Each structure stands twice: as C-alpha cells, then as structure tokens.
Amino acid sequence: MTILVLGGTGKTGRRVVDRLNALGLPVRIGSRPLFDWQDRSTWPAALDGATAVYLAYVPDLAFPGAYEDVKAFTELAVSRGVRRLVLLSGRGEPEAEASERTVRESGAEWTIVRCSWFMQNFSEGFFYDQVLEGVIALPVADVPEPFVDVNDIADVAAAALSRDGHAGRLYELTGPRLLTFTQAAEELSRATGRKISFVRVTPEEYVAGAVKDGVPEEEAEGLAALFTGILDGRNASVADGVRQALGRPARDFTDYAEAAAAMWQRL
C-alpha cells in the first residue's frame, strides 16, 4: 500500500504523514511542486502506484472550483487503482457535502472526516499573527464553536488510511465543548499570561487587513465569506466522532492552549 497524502506539509497532512511513517507505511507527500490542485497535469504522477489517498483540498472545500477539482481528481484516482479515499471535510459546509457525495459514489472504500474549526488556526494558521498582537479581529458573530485539535484529526485519518473497519464511515469531529471566540481568547490569555481579546469586524475590514498583511485579495475574500457563512452558530453542538473512531475522548481547548503557549511568546 502506497498512501498519497495531499496537503502533506499542511496542518493536518504533515501530522498524518508522521503517523503513517511511524507505522512504517510507504507515504508520498502530495504538495507543490509534486502536486498542485490548480495544475491537473501534476495529478497523474502523484497518483502513480498509490492505493490510498488522504484527500485534503486547499484552501477549502467551500471555495469556488473545489467540487469540480475533487470530482475530477477522485475519478482519476479510482481509474488509476486507488482503493481507499479519506476525505477531510468541513462541518456545516454545503459545498463540502457535495464533494463528500463524490467520494461516497466513487466506488472506492471511503471515509469522511468532517471537522469543526481547528484549534491550531490560532497557533499555525489564520489567527496566529492576531494572537501575537493580542487582538483576534474576525468577521464573525461571537457564537459558540466546538474547536477541534488537528492531532485528533490526524489520528482518525491515519487510522482510516491504515486499518480496516473505517470504510463507509462519516466521522464528525469536534472538541468536547463549545467556546465562543471571546471565551477562546480568554483561554489563550490564561495560557500565555498575556491579554488577548476578540473583536468583531466587518468582512470589508477583515479583507482590507488581510490584504495589507500580504494575503491575496481573492483568498482574503474567500476566507471572509467562509467565516461569515460557517461561523454563524450552525455548528454550535459537539459530536462524538473522535471517540467513535478511536475509542477515546477528543482533546480539550485548555490542554491545547497550555501546550502551545510558548508559540505565542514574542522573541
């Protein structure tokens, strides 16, 4: 079994790679220049000899063109001998559910890993610089979200890729409790010993700030649409997918914040 991990240098992908390597399984990292979602000519070589794929779409399944790319890639993968697909999906995203259907109907063994917002977005992604500055400014209502640890996601994905018993399963992954962004900021403040607050801004203000920080305007607009569309309270419930897949509880936000606290200390 050769496992292709798309987004293999990203937040979830690199952790999936680490877990598969620890099991001694042959892994191919699907990231630029080997693999590029925007360049379909790179897809066949990345799939050569692969029998399983961790399918993570960048930047997100809710972005324009994602469904068409996932459908084309899935069809190509199965035609080239891929027998197992594990899709990283987004909770509460109708666009993501369309891609889920494509994977379900592919003819391969499939597992859907449907996730809430990542805890690690505060330390490795969208919100990292804002946490450093002490103000998390986003175009979202202060609604509760069951933030999930990407290490839990990676554990579930690696299990689904490497073991039997997960085919045909949809695992909805969340953390064990709901937190508003204000409460998340308070947790980060306690963990770091620094004052960190949440401020709601308009989508236009967010896009302007992101572009000023070097984010391409199209990507910034897509993120703003994702924030306002998904972080509206629709996901204000916890799920038990981590326990269903692994037999253990999901990691709590407090544990994450305490473990990551050093990452937010200014040098």
- Say if residue 266's pLDDT is above 70: no
Q: Judging by beta carbons within 10 Å of its beta carbon (0-12, 13-18, 19+), is residue 230 exposed, middle or buried?
A: buried
Residue 60 — very low, low, confident or very high, per pLDDT cuts 50/70/90? very high
Q: Which residue has the tokens 């500055």?
A: 133
The 3-state secondary structure of 148-215, one letter per residue:
ECHHHHHHHHHHHHHCCCCCCEEEEECCCCCECHHHHHHHHHHHHCCCCEEEECCHHHHHHHHHHCCC
Dump pLDDT digits (tens) for 162-203. Answer: 999 999 999 999 999 999 999 999 999 999 999 999 999 999
Residue 267 — very low, low, confident or very high, per pLDDT cuts 50/70/90? very low
What does the longest C-alpha to C-alpha distance in the chain come to? 54
DSSP class of residue 50 equals -
Residue 215 — very low, low, confident or very high, per pLDDT cuts 50/70/90? confident
Domain ranges of the chain: 3-116+149-175+237-250
DSSP class of residue 249 equals P
CB atoms closer than 10 angstroms to residue 213: 10
3-class DSSP assignment, residue 33: coil
CA quadruple 21, 27, 30, 31: dihedral positive or negative? positive
Q: Which residues pair with residue 85 across a beta bridge?
A: 53, 110
- 24 Rama sector, left if φ>0, alpha if ψ -120 to 50, beta otherwise: left
- Say if residue 98's pLDDT is above 70: yes
* Range in 78-82, 90-94, 126-130, 247-251 with the lowest mean pLDDT: 126-130
CATH superfamily for domain 3-116+149-175+237-250: NAD(P)-binding Rossmann-like Domain (3.40.50.720)
Q: What are phi and psi of 87, to 5 degrees?
A: -100, 125
3-class DSSP assignment, residue 225: helix
The kind and range of the H/E element at 137 are strand 135-138
Average pLDDT score over the chain: 95
The predicted model gives 74-91 an average pLDDT of: 98
In a 13 Å sphere around the CA of 129, the CA atoms on its Cβ side amount to: 8
DSSP class of residue 87 equals E
- Say if residue 81's pLDDT is above 90: yes
CB–CB of 97/67 below 8 Å?
A: no
The kind and range of the H/E element at 13 are helix 13-22
Dump pLDDT digits (tens) for 116-144. Answer: 999 999 999 889 999 999 999 999 988 99
- Say if residue 21's pLDDT is above 60: yes
